Structure 1
Amino acid sequence: MRLSDFDSAQLGAMAHLYRGEVYRSTVWRTRLDNTTNWSIVMMGVALTSAFSSPSSSSLPLLVVGMLLLVFLVFEARRYRYFNVWRARARWMETHLYAPMLRGQPVDPAWRDVLARDYETPVHHISFVQALGRRLRRNFIWILAIQSGAYWGKIAIHPFPAQDIHDLIGRAAIGPVPGVAVLIAGVVYNGMWIAVALWSWRVDRARWGPDGGGGSMG
């Protein structure tokens, strides 16, 4: 089909529909930025508290790790909604507006895909995939800073550790031995690295290395 098969009223309705999807994606994008900003602020508070004096505890750096988990869950949930609006807008850009600009015929199948998405709206990606995407884009760097700061706290602040036993002793928190704390930290960070790599492989397998594909999401 060609664009001439659309009358002026239909093209006007599509333009308003596109504007609405862009607006909704912009609103949810702002909500994503909020959770990232909260994470950065809390990380700054934890760093200030942990390195403010030689006697400061490393506990704030561990607590902020749990807060980062909460913020990451919030952001992944919000990203699933953002992805719906973003995918619809992108679908119209690639299947309507791009052929319009090139003067090419428009494949009518794109309308069926978009119509089904409006009739039976669903999330285009799973919650774990959303977690992985937000990890790869934002949170993996925040978690890396947290891990590096914690290592610096127990290894060199306020003075360098003399040996491995000294390092393990500094990692202890109350009745919790240092070995348990360090193992938990390795598992915690390893879990996020595994989720990020898994989601990257899923995205690459579904949409290819250039992010293209024949479906929304």
Structure 2
Amino acid sequence: MDGSAKTRRKLDAAEMGVVAHLYRGEVYRSTIWRTRLDTTTNWSVVTLGVALSITYSSPQASPLPLVLVGILIIFFLMLEARRYRYFNVWRARCRWLELHFMAPILKEGNLHLEEQWQDRLAEDYLHPAYHVSMWTAIGRRIRRNYFWILLIQTVAYMGKLVVHPTPLESTGQLLERAAIGPLPGWLVLLVGAVYCISWGIIAYVSEQQDAARARLKSDPLGMG
């Protein structure tokens, strides 16, 4: 190598066919992982529905299932965020091929290999890595789905305390109903508030970071 810039020859018919099959494979993988995201969301909805059914089955039923289901929702959210990081890899590759391979063929018939977009894709295959952090993935999943799940859980829990077994008459009565065993009601409500606010902050910060990253993105070959 003399250090001079390399000129990439044009893809022949066989290579074009390989890239087309590669695109099909990436679409398949992104579809599979998208289905896995839906699965964990469905698990969260179903478990929340079971907790709602138990809690509102009678006026004397305990609101505790709505508290305990929050542990499962957190577990499903963590699992879904991890799956989202995998999904984002396949989705980014599909989008990359659509942007630099499919679109140029349809529009100009020229793949513009001199722009070296193929090198970035090859590097992603040689050294695969996540394109987003775990916190970013958590924030995105909260904004897409889990905000509504957490909102329903919170409203249902507070509604149970307010209306059952009789309509609420005082703040002291609210704290009494919120108590869980030796844990005082004010502590339970405080933990619940921190629980909701924490997820809200994560979602908000993640959204601001995504927006800032989009505004400051200077690498035309940036992937993900």
- Equivalent in 137, 145, 152 of residue 144 of structure 2: 137
Amino acid of the residue matched to residue 56 of structure 1? A
Kept in 1, the 8 Å contact 2:117–2:221? The answer is: no
Could you tell me the percent identity over the aligned residues?
54
1:5 CA displacement: 2.2
Amino acid of the residue matched to residue 201 of structure 2? A
Q: How does 1:18-167 map to 2 (within 5 A)?
A: 18-103=23-108, 105-107=110-112, 108-167=115-174
C-alpha distance after superposition, 1:89-116 (max 9, x if no partner): 1111011111222116434321111111
Instruction: Report the counterpart of residue 9 of structure 1 in structure 2.
Output: 14
Q: How does 1:188-207 map to 2 (within 5 A)?
A: 188-207=195-214
Kept in 1, the 8 Å contact 2:26–2:94? The answer is: yes
User: Which has the higher mean CA deviation after the structures are superposed, 188-197 or 152-161?
Assistant: 152-161
CA-based RMSD of the aligned residues comes to: 1.7
Distance 1:215 1:163 in 2: 57
1:158 CA displacement: 3.0
Q: Which runs of 5+ in 1 are unaligned?
A: none
Amino acid of the residue matched to residue 77 of structure 2? L
Total equivalences in the alignment: 212
- Partner-residue secondary structure (3-state), 2:66: helix
- Equivalent in 156, 173, 180 of residue 173 of structure 1: 180
User: TM-score under structure 1 normalisation?
Assistant: 0.93
- Equivalent in 178, 186, 190 of residue 183 of structure 1: 190
1:7 CA displacement: 1.0
Give 1 or 2 for the bigger CA radius of gyration.
2
1:208 CA displacement: 4.1
- Partner-residue secondary structure (3-state), 2:36: helix
Amino acid of the residue matched to residue 98 of structure 2? E
User: Which has the higher mean CA deviation after the structures are superposed, 54-63 or 95-104?
Assistant: 95-104
User: TM-score under structure 2 normalisation?
Assistant: 0.90
Q: Which runs of 5+ in 2 are unaligned?
A: 1-8
Runs of 4+ in 1 over 2 A off after TM superposition: 104-109
1:31 CA displacement: 1.0
